[in-house]
Structure 1
Amino acid sequence: MELCTEALEETVTSEEAQSLFDKAAQKFQEVAALAFFNWGNVHMCAARKRIPLDESSAGEDVVATQLQTAYDWVKEKYCSARQKYEEALVIKPDFYEGLLALGQQQFEMAKLHWSFALAKKMDLSGWDSMETLELFDSAEQKMKAATEMWEKMEEQRAKELKDPTSSKKEEWLRKKKKHGSNTAEGEAVVVNGGGGHGELTPEEAAEQAAVMRSQIHLFWGNMLFERSQVECKLGTGDWRKNLDAAVERFRLAGASEADIAMVLKNHYSNEGPKEGEEKKAENPNGFITAAKVEVANEDVKE
């Protein structure tokens, strides 16, 4: 037993062992960050609970109380999600998924504020929109930072797949030799680094990257579209510029022109009160829910 302990001591204190310890620490870091990330996702999903308002039989005061309670409940869930995403980023600062999720959380908070103002039938000319617009700004900043982080990781991953001397490919070849695999060289490599690819061929990895890029463009387009909605309704900001930018993102995501046209048709700029009627601004569903712009993404353009 003593000899075994001495042998192990010599192994774990060797220079070669240090790289293995570094890899183990990185894995635990990723797992810990992912735990907080998923914890935040649970809160975001819970916030989607539909809370109906009894507008038919209850008085205005009761409905107003129900509305405030619903708003506070959803806001609390969003804030809890933000806390978990931020903890994930403290553990792993280059965790781009956490940064994307944090941008999504800020976006949903902005939509919540806007939906609440509409549901309460506030006078929008006197409504303070500063916090809502700041949330849109924050969401876009985080989206941009996360995208840049992801692009750098993808570039590095692509180089490792193409470079026959890369450490990851060498690691894969060692595993292949150890386990006696008959897989052809270069057919698959182990890809890590927080992207969650697992064992993929270069073609599969490229396909997943294309899908991810499309999803980023789609989310970014939705965010710009919703902001242009708010600015158009309030008569502030350059809503047309944001709308044009949203359309460009939708096209980059691979959305069809028919889908884009359908979304644009529902923009506030295309609405107007009918003759003799005032344009209504209440939430037609009767409960707080973030308005969503859904753009079909059946065919991703290369």
Structure 2
Amino acid sequence: MGRSKGKGGGRGQGSTARVVSKQHAEDDKMFLRRSREIMREGNSHLQHGRLEHAKLSFEKALQLCKGNSKEASQLHSSLGTICLLQHNFEGAVKECTLALEIEPYAIQTRHRRARAYELNGNLIQALADVRWLVKLHSQAPKVQQPFVALERKLVEQLRTASAAHKVAQLELQEKRSGDAAETVGIKLDRGGDVRLVEVSSRMNYAELKAVALEKFQGLANFNVKVKDGDGDEITLQSREDVRAALKLAKTPKFFVSEVEEADVVAPLDSELEETRVAPNLMEGITESSQQAAEPEKPEEEVYELDDWMIDFAELFKEHLGIDIDTPLDLSKLAWEKCAEALDSAVQNSKSEALLRQAANKFEEVILTALVNLGNVYMCIARKYIDAKTDEDDAVEEIKKADKELDSAKGMYKTALERKGDFADAVLSLGQLEFEKGKISTSFGVPEGHKYYSAHAEGYFLDSIEFFKQSLSLLDESGPSEEEAKGGKDGGEKSEASLKAQAQVMWGNALYELSQCFATAKKDWKPTLTQAVDKFKEAKCRSEEVRSALDMHCEKIDAEDVKVYMKDFVDEEEAK
């Protein structure tokens, strides 16, 4: 209240919070439905090659789906496809990784990321993803077959890149030193399976991982460790670590430790570049757009029907009077029966009343949506005001905020044009005028401006009239039909909460008005007394009211505070 509470406060706010929570849940469902519609639009754009349109659709749908895991994973994967088609391979890896963090078993997404890794030169991670897919389909050889072929291709690419780089390193070393190039033998140990490998003494961490991938079939996510003279295991991360490890023994042993994907120590980009193979940019990309626009389908299964089942189905169709040589479309029959029933229901004498009830419910939804949309514009206006950093920004930010407030007012007025006694819209108009008054008292805009401080009184007085009107409408209308069904636990409590909110707002406006009067050297005390009375009616907490009195621009002494707080009893204390 006052400066301390804004439009909040009051013991009746608990019910309002529950109503708001329910409204938020309904909003989330609405946003999710809209997200799915936009996602379908994006899929259509993608199928027709309109990549930028598809990208915008998917990004917008991602904002609306409110973190829903299934939709978010699909949208990130689709964005990864677009990046892949646009040759933005780093972006494709990023989007596919975000999708896999949500849904690790999305097969097409992981396949897509493997291709993006390959095209970006990261053969190590590409092979890790492909081997994950091979392992996943170990019980389905037909499904596994293309991934096995891809694995062989990547291993060959990795072997070619490693061999070429090894030769280049040895030639460079020989040219610099004039001596024969140096190679060293190392041992690779994967859970007791030890391999002896000859490598260059200048080998980096990425090349070491590439060698391990070549030597051990099925190896995917892993780190490489080495034991020092004290027996401590050290996890390698770079070229420097590998070179230090090579000096530990004549034939050093490196331990291949398989880990979860999140725990993999990835090689540096500069080292990965040395394992790169120039990719075929056309291979595999052309299929991506069609795959992204289609949901993943499980492997089809074939079911056999016994003869008696077929005979029974034909007998059933014959008794229904349906041609047994045509397919049985129960869906079509069901809709025909529904249509017949609907025709009968509409002609029934009770149908008009029911249809009127339906129309009224939709009208309530429209009115609530208009007020909520106005409230959104109000929030945007507050954001502009809060963004002001110094006095020079004030006029410009107020101009932006005023435009949003006008939009909010338009929504409230539209709601009242549809239903002149809609208390929520009237209450919101009062809050809007209150906000204008606060702007006028908070910023030192020049004289003649719409929000010059002298205009604050008028805004607060207008807001009070709206609050009075909303309370009058609430008294006349009572709880809605739906609220009334809940009895005291439903309609009456909801209505009481809305009334308490209006009284708190009314009290806030009177409080601010008393400060305007005090600044103008007018008699402000009666107005402040009225404000405190409104706070009492709204059952606000005594400490909140006392805090507001302490913050008043006129220093109120302790004795006067006692007078204002006389007979002020908290609801909890009364109990």
CA distance in 1, matches of 2:489, 2:337: 49
Structure with larger RCO (C-alpha < 8 A, sep 6+): 1
CA distance in 2, matches of 1:37, 1:210: 20
Q: Is residue 484–residue 492 contact of structure 2 (8 Å, CA) maintained in 1?
A: no
Q: Cα deviation per residue 1:9-44 (whole Å; 9 max; x = unaligned)?
A: 564244322211211221121111111111101111
Alpha carbons of 1:202 and 1:257: their partners in 2 closer, same or farther (altered >3 Å)? closer
CA distance in 2, matches of 1:232, 1:77: 30
CA distance in 2, matches of 1:226, 1:21: 47
The alignment status of 1:244 with 2:529, answered yes or no, reads: yes
CA distance in 2, matches of 1:243, 1:39: 33
CA distance in 2, matches of 1:230, 1:21: 52
Task: State the shift of 1:208 in Å.
Answer: 3.2
2:433 to 106, 119, 122: 106
Task: State the shift of 1:257 in Å.
Answer: 3.2
**Correspondence 1:211-226 to 2 at 5 A:** 211-226=497-512
Structure 1 counterpart of 2:332: none
Structure 1 counterpart of 2:274: none
Structure 2 counterpart of 1:51: 387
Q: Cα deviation per residue 1:207-232 (whole Å; 9 max; x = unaligned)?
A: 33333332222111111101111121
**Correspondence 1:105-144 to 2 at 5 A:** 105-117=432-444, 120=445, 129=454, 131-144=455-468
Q: Is residue 253–residue 300 contact of structure 1 (8 Å, CA) maintained in 2?
A: no
Partner of 2:420, secondary structure, is coil
CA distance in 1, matches of 2:428, 2:571: 23
The alignment status of 1:256 with 2:541, answered yes or no, reads: yes
Q: Cα deviation per residue 1:174-195 (whole Å; 9 max; x = unaligned)?
A: xxxxxxxxxxxxxxxxx42xxx
**Counterpart amino acid of 2:514?**
S
Q: Cα deviation per residue 1:84-114 (whole Å; 9 max; x = unaligned)?
A: 1111111222221111011100111111122
Structure 1 counterpart of 2:368: 34
Partner of 2:403, secondary structure, is helix
**Counterpart amino acid of 2:436?**
M
CA distance in 2, matches of 1:235, 1:77: 33
CA distance in 1, matches of 2:414, 2:354: 26
**Counterpart amino acid of 1:216?**
A
Q: Is residue 381–residue 401 contact of structure 2 (8 Å, CA) maintained in 1?
A: yes
**Correspondence 1:77-116 to 2 at 5 A:** 77-116=404-443
Cα root mean square deviation, aligned:
3.2
The alignment status of 1:230 with 2:516, answered yes or no, reads: yes
Q: Is residue 380–residue 404 contact of structure 2 (8 Å, CA) maintained in 1?
A: yes
Alpha carbons of 1:10 and 1:252: their partners in 2 closer, same or farther (altered >3 Å)? same
1:266 to 551, 555, 564: 551
Partner of 1:82, secondary structure, is helix
Q: Please, which runs of 5 or more residues in structure 2 have no aligned partner?
A: 1-334, 557-569
Alpha carbons of 1:264 and 1:27: their partners in 2 closer, same or farther (altered >3 Å)? same
Structure 2 counterpart of 1:72: 399
Alpha carbons of 1:299 and 1:90: their partners in 2 closer, same or farther (altered >3 Å)? farther
Partner of 1:48, secondary structure, is helix
Task: State the shift of 1:145 in Å.
Answer: 1.1
Q: Is residue 434–residue 509 contact of structure 2 (8 Å, CA) maintained in 1?
A: yes
CA distance in 2, matches of 1:110, 1:42: 19
Q: Is residue 460–residue 512 contact of structure 2 (8 Å, CA) maintained in 1?
A: no
Alpha carbons of 1:81 and 1:211: their partners in 2 closer, same or farther (altered >3 Å)? same
Alpha carbons of 1:8 and 1:232: their partners in 2 closer, same or farther (altered >3 Å)? same
Alpha carbons of 1:4 and 1:33: their partners in 2 closer, same or farther (altered >3 Å)? closer
Q: Is residue 254–residue 301 contact of structure 1 (8 Å, CA) maintained in 2?
A: no
Structure 1 counterpart of 2:350: 16
Task: State the shift of 1:148 in Å.
Answer: 1.0
**Counterpart amino acid of 2:382?**
R
The structure with the largest alpha-carbon Rg is 2
Q: Is residue 484–residue 491 contact of structure 2 (8 Å, CA) maintained in 1?
A: no
Q: Please, which runs of 5 or more residues in structure 1 have no aligned partner?
A: 55-62, 158-190, 272-296
Q: Is residue 255–residue 299 contact of structure 1 (8 Å, CA) maintained in 2?
A: no
Q: Cα deviation per residue 1:44-74 (whole Å; 9 max; x = unaligned)?
A: 11122121324xxxxxxxx43x221111111
Alpha carbons of 1:210 and 1:300: their partners in 2 closer, same or farther (altered >3 Å)? farther
- What's the TM-score once normalised by structure 1's chain length? 0.64
CA distance in 1, matches of 2:520, 2:365: 44
Task: State the shift of 1:244 in Å.
Answer: 0.6
Q: Is residue 433–residue 463 contact of structure 2 (8 Å, CA) maintained in 1?
A: yes
Task: State the shift of 1:141 in Å.
Answer: 1.3
Task: State the shift of 1:8 in Å.
Answer: 4.9
Q: Is residue 437–residue 460 contact of structure 2 (8 Å, CA) maintained in 1?
A: yes
Q: Is residue 441–residue 456 contact of structure 2 (8 Å, CA) maintained in 1?
A: yes
CA distance in 2, matches of 1:257, 1:200: 31
Structure 2 counterpart of 1:210: 496
CA distance in 2, matches of 1:104, 1:221: 12
CA distance in 1, matches of 2:357, 2:416: 19
In the alignment of these two chains, the number of paired residues is 223
